[in-house]
Amino acid sequence: MSTINLPHILYFKHDHSTTVPCTEEIAKVFKANYTPISSITELFRSIETSNESTNIVFHIGILEKENITLEKFVSMLRVASDYANTTVNIAAIITKKTTFEMTQRLKNNHVSISLDVADWPIEVASQGVEFVKGTILYPEEILHRDLPKKPLSIYFREDWKTHVTPAMLDNINHSSFDVAYCTNWYQLDQALEQQPHQLIFHIDMLERLAVTIPEIMSMIHIRLRMANLDIPVAVSIDPTVSQTTIKELRRAGVFGLTFSSTHWGPDETINGINALLDRVPYWPKHILDQLPTDTPKKPKPKKSGEITLSPRQTEVLELIKSRGLGNKQIARTLGISESTVKMHVGDIMTAYGVRSRVQLAVLSQ
């Protein structure tokens, strides 16, 4: 290909058999040259040898193929560019099968959005190359018009109303996915007709239905086949679940885990759901190592005045105590949503038994 004075892009996609070769004519249309990259190793090697700036485009399909979440992949790219002492501009090529939820996560992670030429006219798709200027492109009108809306997640738990707090419901309502709550098999069958993206059942359903793990998985998969659905099934657990049970879940074909926000905080719950949305099995060692090795013993009562907070709750409390920040300022500082901050503050106040931020700031000293 002839050399022309245009920006250079590293294009990461596993299979480049359908990638248009970068001829001089194509480069002029896209206003950039590009080099096809087929593996993470090759991509990182190219970042290491870059000069002052690196422009990276990855096809959205590589997340599933690499078995990695969007957030972790983007973090790896930025760490590699920092190590190489180079700036990095990142864009993702999406297709018309990409969910609207995923585009919001791309935007939240400061990843520009480009459109696949297989789904959009090349004149429209080529506009995505503007990201090399450091601009985060988010063609909202096209995304709203052409992409699937919020993915639907089924939550199967008989007593979900007892455990899903109003604060958590508010957080879910402002999230990038919808939830259909089911308390029995009939409601589950009805929800499956809505073409859900995934299904989560709580571990308590084993006792409620008087079934084993293989039995409930068999019953669920029969229903999925009848509904002509091929979606992952995950299980929501509490801290009392033993590591022996975790092994049984794996053997039964459970795709991954999600975690109770009451015990591990909403951030960990969201991590599990995001992994499920990305079709990445989520079995985090840092949580599984905390689970009892066998039937759990009854927990000893806490000593008077003993308060245990999650790492994120501790960060929120410190910003309230030391800097007197409001929810919006805390959200901006920690890079999380304001509704998540509200949930953390409410849980912290409950833990300390106070009703105002002033009381909290005083009593937590």
- Enumerate the domain spans of the chain: 8-146, 152-288, 311-363
Share of the chain above pLDDT 90, in %: 28
Place 43 in a pLDDT band, splitting at 50, 70 and 90: very high
Q: What stretches of the chain show up as alpha helix (H) in DSSP? A: 24-30, 40-48, 62-66, 70-83, 100-108, 122-125, 140-146, 160-163, 166-173, 185-192, 205-209, 213-226, 243-251, 261-264, 266-277, 285-288, 311-323, 327-334, 338-352, 357-363
Residue 177 — φ and ψ, nearest 5°?
-145, 160
Q: What is the pLDDT of residue 90?
A: 94
| More confident of the two residues 10 and 25 | 10
State the CATH architecture for 152-288.
3-Layer(aba) Sandwich (3.40)
Q: Over range 37-66, report the average pLDDT.
A: 88
Fold of 8-146: Rossmann fold (3.40.50)
Mean pLDDT (the chain, rounded): 83
Q: What is the pLDDT of residue 172?
A: 62
**Domains 8-146 and 152-288 fall in the same CATH topology:** yes
Please state the pTM of the whole predicted model. Answer: 0.48
Any bridge partners for residue 37, and if so which? 12
Residue 27 — φ and ψ, nearest 5°?
-60, -40
Q: Which two tokens stand for residue 31?
A: 């206003």
Place 2 in a pLDDT band, splitting at 50, 70 and 90: very low
Q: Over range 144-170, report the average pLDDT.
A: 79
Q: What is the pLDDT of residue 364?
A: 63
Q: Give per-residue pLDDT as tens, 88-130.
A: 999 999 998 887 778 888 998 999 999 988 889 888 888 888 8
| More confident of the two residues 250 and 360 | 250
Burial of 151 (0-12, 13-18, 19+ CB in 10 A): buried
Q: Does domain 311-363 have CATH number 1.10.10.10?
A: yes
In the predicted model, is pLDDT for residue 305 greater than 70?
A: no
